[in-house]
Amino acid sequence: MKTIQLEKLLHRKEQVVAIRFPYDVALGNEVRKITNISWSKSLKAWYAPYSIEVLKEIKTVFDSIAIIDASTLKMQVEKEKEAIRNKKELSQEALHQIERFMDWLRSRRYSENTVKTYSEALKTFLLYFDKKQITEITNEDVIEFNNNYILKKELSASFQNQVVNAIKLFFRTMQHTSMNADLIHRPKRAFVLPNVLSKAEIKLLLNSLSNVKHKAMLSLIYSCGLRRSELLNLKLTDIDSKRNLIIIRQSKGRKDRIAPLSLKILELLRLYFGAYKPTFWLFEGQDKNSRYDERSLASVMKQAVEKSKINKPVTLHWLRHSYATHLLENGTDLRYIQEILGHSRSTTTEIYTHVSNKSIQKIVSPFDNL
């Protein structure tokens, strides 16, 4: 017996059940018996308005002549039910408190990224306890949230850390609460090595780009160890070509720093400037008054990875990690690397010693002496 597959889809703003099967004259004749059935070229399937009656009709028509595979449809329906069950709304009081918290963060000059991250994390936490008054939430509730929400859903330790940071800061600024923020412990951080590309892979990646603007952006990230936001926030005045320096202003932690500019990157930037003539932001978007879009930059990176045929899940931040590692392998002192990258603590920079192959490659395996 042949198999037909059922799937629930949104087609032309209507919920439909799609019916798929390999070309078969007999099945084609039978499917036409279903009420309001139609063929869709875009879906490459037969479809009818989704309803319990239509599902029963499909079962009646095909039950004796084909195997009905409804596994995908059942999974979709279950996900929809779960989404409805999980769809909760915060009380007006909770929304008000989150707004107050965001105002407090902004008044302390936290970055907008941090404000957004903390407010979303706090919203997730308060939604979990939507039946409780905020003043009634205790330290035991935080433990319950970690165990029954974060761990149960297998969410990352970094997300858990964000939530804990948000909770601690929020309840520290609250009054009349039974929460003791000082007793909330952050999760133990996992030791994860940074992802690094070889110099040959970096060269292959950058040379795959023919667009001078795209090449200049990725090259500048690698050549100066920049974060994505640092590149997009650069202004023309931040390039000091006379001293071969780039000024990174008010980056992570609200700090300014400088990084050396190579002569090769200066030449590339001059080519880019001659072709695009930016007026304020170093890398402008389609609108001359706006910065280049983050998603567009990620898309440039994705295209470069595909063109260079590097079979790794490379992201923009890999370029920064690679820069630091290659500096270390060239013999640059860790203290200078820390300064260039803008790390507050030397321990953050020291992680690159674990991925540098400078010393590791010199180690002779005892296996070679057997």
- As annotated, the active-site residues are 227, 252, 317, 320, 343, 352
Measured from the Cβ of residue 278, the count of other Cβ atoms closer than 10 Å reads 16
| Rounded distance between C-alpha atoms, residue 178 and residue 42, angstroms | 57
Given a contact cutoff of 8 angstroms between Cβ atoms, the answer to whether 34 and 6 are in contact is: no
Cα separation of 245 and 259, whole Å?
6
Residue 103 phi/psi, 5° resolution? -65, -40
Query: Which residues on adjacent β-strands are paired with residue 284?
Result: 291
Closest CA relative to residue 215, chosen from 295, 308, 291: 308
Residue closest to 163 by CA, chosen among 141, 178, 191: 141
SS3 3: strand
Ramachandran region, residue 287 (left: φ > 0; alpha: ψ -120 to 50; beta: rest): beta
Q: Which of 149, 148, 150, 172 is nearest to 160 (CA)?
A: 150
CB atoms within 10 A of CB 335: 10
What is the spatial distance between Cα 218 and Cα 339, in angstroms, rounded to a whole number? 21
Handedness of CA 323, 327, 329, 334 (dihedral sign): negative
